[in-house]
Structure 1
Amino acid sequence: MIEGGLRALDLEALRSFVTIVRMGSLAAAAQQRHRTVSALSMQIKRLETSLGTQLLVRSARGVTTTAAGETLLGEARELLRQHDGLVARITGRGLSGQVRFGIPEDYAPQIVGRLLPDFMAQHPDVILEAVTATSGELVRRLERGDLSLIVALDRPHPLAGGIPLWRTQPVWAGARDITLTREQSLPLALHPVNCPYRHLGLEALETAGRAWHAVFTSTSIHAVETAVASGLAVSILERERITPAMRTLGEPDGLPMLQGCEAQLHYGRHVPAQSWPAVEALGSLLIRQLGQSG
């Protein structure tokens, strides 16, 4: 017991709890933590007894968090981050390992330019590899075990268990002097099939019964923006990417409303144990900074 009658939480039990939630099952977490399933089960039982509430619900498909467990998850991640940072500063041994981080190209300038340099300055022994791709491709790479964590939109391939970061603001974009009629087939500049904005744009057009055809396709956001600004085609862009050479299009131009997406943080389930503290440290930084900025 500690002062005030509160019980001290077992940090290793908290690590096991966080790992179980991330991996989705006790068996997978046990392998990650180099423990037996029964040992992890006992840790969770003691943690639940100490807190006086159920944290996990087990089923044939794995485990899910209760409301109390979901609350504990965020607090536990932050507590472990602070603990590990304190130990590293006192002992002089910082984080190490490899972090493979995936982000959509649209948001790479802000994340790479603002957050990753700070992370590398704080953890110089970490090997960081950042890659850009569409959200659909990032989800596939994460599930294959190629990436440690990703920021991805929840379209077109939603992945369960993501941590919400911000809501996007997609808009129809055309050249400043573009003129459209409702009768004409809409000329589009598109990303590949795994792009969330392609998915929601075409879905909206088909629901509205608006004819369209692709005149330009590219994996590069800058190439798509050039096609829009030059008047070659219309596309779907994040509102903040509209330049003076473009204008936002909408219902007066015969275009349907667009729904937003949610940007989420996802952790991989195949991260080596020695790299996990560094992966979680980057994830915590992204949650703090991107969750606040929207």
Structure 2
Amino acid sequence: MAEPPLNTLDLEALRSFVVVARLGTLAAAAQQRHRTVSALSMQIKRLEASLDTRLLVRSARGMTPTMSGEVLLGEARELLRQHDGMVARMTGRGLSGRVRFGMPEDYATRIVGRLLPDFTARHPEVVLEAVTATSGDLVKQLEKGDLSLIVALDRPHSLAGGTPLWQTMPVWASARELAVAADKPLPLALHPLNCPYRHLGVEALEAVGRAWHAVFTSTSIHVLEAAVESGLAISILERSRLTPTMRELGGTDGLPPLSSCQAQLHYGRHVSAASWPAVEALGEMLTQHLTWRS
């Protein structure tokens, strides 16, 4: 007796499902996958029909996986990693080497969530080492040869020859109910000295002769945000990071305007020949996708 045929999953449909689940919209996934929205939607529908289950639903956060979708997501990522690694090994066309990548913590969630999983899936033989630090520290590590490439803001240490990615929008941020006293030093929550936003804030305050003092200093953006939300201090944050419990301060609160920064991609000068193709591949992916305006 012949065995009943097994359902065969389309690997490209699985890739599309993984990207939609990660980015949250069909439009964004279609752009990354170089397909139309309708073509991507049909792939997902065929995948759901093949598995006889709903994989994605619309929610306030966009397209999110169902319970079945969450199960498939983990297994699909592993399957695609194994498949791509096998193809790379058999064809000899896979990239290898070591990539040491640095980025500011403020933007790490976007970069890690959007790009680094894709990079490791496409190039499983590449050893990726990613770190977060202030832009000033990243520049120093790049110049020392400790990093292969970085995404960094152009303040306070500017490097020549960087590839522009996006323009930042720093704002003064406080707790929504915090009253700013004009006759007292401004209480600030800041990153350490090599932070671009610390540099911008101090520069702006000193230009107008406004007294300030650092109530809280931390390398963690999440800790600084907690200090703001609790009313402990005022900080300089990316406008997109303001939460409902915060408010943006400005001239009516006696605070000077802040200059913006440009995020740039920089390559190291001490990358080995064996690792350079992999470093360049990550750089191209970052340049292609990190073009938002904050």
**TM-score exceeds 0.5:** yes
Amino acid at match of 1:263: A
Amino acid at match of 1:291: T
Are 1:236 and 2:232 counterparts? no
Structure 2 residue ranges without an equivalent (≥5): 1-87
Amino acid at match of 1:138: L
Aligned pairs for 1:246-257 (under 5 A) are 246-257=246-257
For 1:237 and 1:90, locate their aligned partners in 2 and report how far apart those are by CA, in whole Å.
48
Determine the structure 2 residue equivalent to 1:196.
196
Are 1:267 and 2:288 counterparts? no
Q: Does the 8 A contact of 2:167 with 2:293 survive in 1?
A: no
> SS of the residue aligned with 1:228?
helix
> SS of the residue aligned with 1:273?
coil
For 1:93 and 1:188, locate their aligned partners in 2 and report how far apart those are by CA, in whole Å.
52
Determine the structure 2 residue equivalent to 1:174.
174
Q: How big is each residue's C-alpha offset from its partner over 1:11-51, in whole Å with a ceiling of 9 and x where there is no partner? A: xxxxxxxxxxxxxxxxxxxxxxxxxxxxxxxxxxxxxxxxx
Aligned pairs for 1:207-222 (under 5 A) are 207-222=207-222
Q: Does the 8 A contact of 2:188 with 2:234 survive in 1?
A: yes
Amino acid at match of 2:135: S
Amino acid at match of 2:274: Q
RMSD of aligned alpha carbons: 1.6
Structure 1 residue ranges without an equivalent (≥5): 1-87
How far did residue 257 of structure 1 move?
A: 0.2
Identity %: 72
For 1:170 and 1:291, locate their aligned partners in 2 and report how far apart those are by CA, in whole Å.
17
Query: What's the TM-score once normalised by structure 2's chain length?
Result: 0.69
Determine the structure 2 residue equivalent to 1:43.
none
Aligned pairs for 1:147-186 (under 5 A) are 147-186=147-186
Amino acid at match of 2:206: E
How far did residue 292 of structure 1 move?
A: 5.3
How far did residue 180 of structure 1 move?
A: 0.9
Query: What's the TM-score once normalised by structure 1's chain length?
Result: 0.69
How far did residue 90 of structure 1 move?
A: 9.5
How far did residue 181 of structure 1 move?
A: 2.6
For 1:214 and 1:274, locate their aligned partners in 2 and report how far apart those are by CA, in whole Å.
46
For 2:138 and 2:176, locate their aligned partners in 1 and report how far apart those are by CA, in whole Å.
33
Determine the structure 1 residue equivalent to 2:113.
113
> SS of the residue aligned with 1:124?
coil
Amino acid at match of 1:225: E
How far did residue 131 of structure 1 move?
A: 0.2
How far did residue 89 of structure 1 move?
A: 10
Determine the structure 2 residue equivalent to 1:146.
146
> SS of the residue aligned with 1:291?
coil
For 1:90 and 1:196, locate their aligned partners in 2 and report how far apart those are by CA, in whole Å.
46
For 2:172 and 2:289, locate their aligned partners in 1 and report how far apart those are by CA, in whole Å.
28
Aligned pairs for 1:1-294 (under 5 A) are 91-291=91-291
Q: Does the 8 A contact of 2:102 with 2:150 survive in 1?
A: yes
Q: How big is each residue's C-alpha offset from its partner over 1:239-270, in whole Å with a ceiling of 9 and x where there is no partner? A: 00000111111111100000100000000000
For 1:209 and 1:181, locate their aligned partners in 2 and report how far apart those are by CA, in whole Å.
15
How far did residue 93 of structure 1 move?
A: 2.3
Corresponding pairs, count? 208
Determine the structure 1 residue equivalent to 2:7.
none
Amino acid at match of 1:153: L
Q: How big is each residue's C-alpha offset from its partner over 1:212-255, in whole Å with a ceiling of 9 and x where there is no partner? A: 01110111111100000000000000000000111111111100
